[in-house]
Structure 1
Amino acid sequence: MTKGNIYLILAAAGLALVGCNKAESPSEVQHDVTNAQAEAQRDVTDAQSDARESMADAQKDVADAQADNDADDVADQARDASETAAQGDFKVAVARAEATHKIAIEKCEALQDNAQEDCKARADADLENAKRAAEARRDGAG
């Protein structure tokens, strides 16, 4: 790709962004927020369901090892179950953080120009902080 093509792409991208910080109408924002809330709830529910299923499988593995009276296998399966629980909690926390982020971004659409940019930047920062906190909890539990 030539240097000229790169400049053309950057210019086109810049033009595409012009007007992106225009406030949406209150009814558009409410509609988008409602949709984001519904999608967010589905995403969190799916993450919770996946975590429950994974944990049930891990608990079954522990029970099977106990039934076999294999102390080493029981310890291994219990450790795996603990890691499965921590990973499930992490996935649910991330799903919640992403859900909150989606809703916050939609609410930012009601604002104009720099206020909208600042709002979205705060939402992005909150998402990253929530993900880091979830990672720390997961890593501390494992």
Structure 2
Amino acid sequence: MLPQLVSHSPDLLKLWESGYDIEIIGDQHLLVHQIPYVNSIKEVKYGTLVCVLTLATPFRVGLPPDHTIYFIGETPCDNNGVVLRGVINNSSNHDLTNKITVNHYFSSKPISGNYPDYYEKVRTYSEILCSQAMAIDISVTSKPINRKTNE
């Protein structure tokens, strides 16, 4: 059974159903594990996207508070090993909580100024990173879990 926050939030449920490896910590942070990216020596690695969650109700998320997201992993690069400076706002270890230490802070602002929901926010950042990894290894995916939604 899905945790209440995911099952009552259409965007989180869509992430889960799409096969993203999601985890909610303390109803305050969404972690999306197994996101492929490329490091400086052109190796495909896997990291974690971290979003701050806002709650509309105790059982449902609201809109993302802004367009930024955190990342746990080495410095992401393009498929040639060049740092993705267009998306990295800051690179330094930062403790979000006593359980979550992030390494990078990303900013990729959509034309509208903010993402309409957490699904679009995660999908966008995931595609930025995964597209570079796919240029090296076409078999990688940011949606590693095959879930049947019609059970």
User: Structure 1 length normalisation: TM-score?
Assistant: 0.28
> Is the radius of gyration larger for structure 1 or structure 2?
1
Q: Which structure is richer in relative contact order (CA contacts within 8 A, separation 6 or more)?
A: 1
User: Structure 2 length normalisation: TM-score?
Assistant: 0.27
Between Structure 1 and Structure 2, which shows a larger proportion of strand residues? 2
Between Structure 1 and Structure 2, which shows a larger proportion of helix residues? 1
